């Protein structure tokens, strides 16, 4: 028995003994990507303490990881019945509202959180992203866009959108990308807001998970490119696809920017003589 206890202590396999220790360990598992183990610990903890706010917040975040948005919403709402001003629950519900396309509900939830906790950087960043000016709508592509003929969508792609430095749509595939267009245009802004909040500089590349899609994004001062792929897509494959499209878009835009060759009198003389 003594040897077994010593072995567990040496190998780190000893299970946490208190509810809060379970939740702390679940948080470490979640941060390490060991989501199933985190879920198991959270479930154990909530069985022991059904009204534990930390546990319900952790459960909500894990349901969101697994895209179980109804269950995530229920967990955050449960937290608000226990603590009506809990900022993490308000932020969680705001994020879900944004994913569901209810921008107004998202803003209302964030505004409520910030009224209670003005120094809440994640809420500030998300609110700033939702308040950013919307780019020109994808429906306007046919009228004002500059088609990039070399951009061919991968077989599994849902949609693609390219925006210029002013946020206006340059091109989209398909030409009307609703319902993907609004989410595609929003994804880079949300990722950029998260980086600003963490003081990590400007956004260059991002992978943004939504309800059933992943948005692969590349950005520089002249071009924003966002590609919607099924959420089951391997990240490596998605990065390869967005890099291929980025190279093609950059080449096409560079060719369009080149001045047309000037005609010379010699050339015209050759044409007349011929």
Q: Which CATH number fits domain 138-257: 3.30.450.30, 3.40.1190.20, 3.40.1480.10, 3.30.479.30?
A: 3.30.450.30
pLDDT for 41: 92
CB 110 within 8 A of CB 84: no
Q: Whole-number mean pLDDT of the chain?
A: 75
Q: Lowest-confidence range among 34-43, 147-156, 207-216? A: 147-156
Residues of the chain with pLDDT > 90: what percent?
24
- If residue 216 lies in a helix (H) or strand (E), which one and from where to where? strand 213-219
Class of domain 2-130: mainly alpha
Q: Is the pLDDT of residue 211 over 70?
A: no
Q: Where in the chain is the domain with CATH 1.25.40.10?
A: 2-130
Q: Is the pLDDT of residue 81 over 90?
A: yes
Q: Is the pLDDT of residue 73 over 70?
A: yes
Q: How far is CA 46 from the centre of its chain?
A: 29
Task: Provide mean pLDDT across the span 159-183.
Answer: 68
Q: How confident is the model at residue 268 (pLDDT cuts 50, 70, 90)?
A: very low
Q: Where in the chain is the domain with CATH 3.30.450.30?
A: 138-257
pLDDT for 40: 93
Residues of the chain with pLDDT > 70: what percent?
66
Closest residue by Cα to residue 230 from 204, 217, 211, 206: 211
pLDDT for 37: 92
Q: How confident is the model at residue 10 (pLDDT cuts 50, 70, 90)?
A: very low
- Which one is predicted more confidently, 261 or 95? 95
Q: Lowest-confidence range among 101-105, 221-225, 266-270? A: 266-270
Q: Lowest-confidence range among 117-121, 172-176, 205-209? A: 172-176
pLDDT for 228: 85
Q: Lowest-confidence range among 38-47, 51-60, 78-87, 256-265? A: 256-265
Closest residue by Cα to residue 92 from 188, 82, 181, 70: 70
pLDDT for 90: 94
- Which one is predicted more confidently, 168 or 44? 44
Gap between the Cα atoms of 29 and 248, Å rounded: 40
Task: Provide mean pLDDT across the span 253-272.
Answer: 52
Q: Please state, in angstroms and as integers, the Cα–Cα distance from residue 219 to each residue in 163, 182, 204, 250, following that order.
A: 9, 17, 5, 11
Task: Provide mean pLDDT across the span 234-255.
Answer: 82
Q: Is the pLDDT of residue 23 over 60?
A: yes
Task: Provide mean pLDDT across the span 158-183.
Answer: 68
């Amino acid at each position: 028995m003594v040897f077994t206890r010593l072995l567990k202590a040496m190998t780190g396999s000893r299970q946490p003994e208190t509810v809060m220790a379970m939740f702390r360990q679940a948080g470490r598992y979640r941060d390490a990507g060991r989501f199933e183990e985190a879920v198991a610990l959270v479930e154990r903890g909530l069985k022991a303490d059904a009204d534990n706010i930390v546990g319900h917040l952790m459960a909500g975040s894990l349901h969101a990881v697994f895209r179980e948005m109804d269950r995530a919403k229920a967990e955050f709402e449960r937290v608000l019945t226990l603590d009506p001003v809990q900022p993490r629950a308000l932020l969680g519900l705001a994020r879900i509202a944004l994913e569901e396309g209810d921008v107004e509900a998202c803003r209302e939830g964030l505004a409520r959180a910030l009224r209670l906790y003005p120094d809440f950087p994640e809420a500030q960043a998300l609110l700033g992203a939702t308040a950013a000016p919307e780019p020109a709508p994808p429906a306007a592509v046919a009228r004002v866009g500059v088609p990039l003929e070399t951009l061919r969508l991968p077989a599994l792609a849902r949609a693609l959108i390219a925006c210029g430095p002013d946020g206006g749509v340059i091109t989209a595939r398909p030409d009307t990308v609703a319902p993907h267009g609004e989410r595609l245009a929003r994804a880079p802004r949300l990722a950029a807001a998260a980086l600003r909040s963490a003081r990590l500089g400007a956004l260059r590349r991002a992978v943004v998970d939504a309800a059933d899609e992943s948005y692969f994004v590349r950005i520089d001062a002249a071009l924003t490119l966002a590609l919607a792929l099924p959420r089951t897509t391997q990240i490596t494959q998605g990065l390869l696809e967005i890099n291929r499209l980025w190279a093609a878009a950059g080449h096409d835009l560079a060719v369009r920017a080149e001045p047309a060759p000037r005609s010379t009198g010699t050339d015209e003389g050759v044409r007349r003589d011929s």
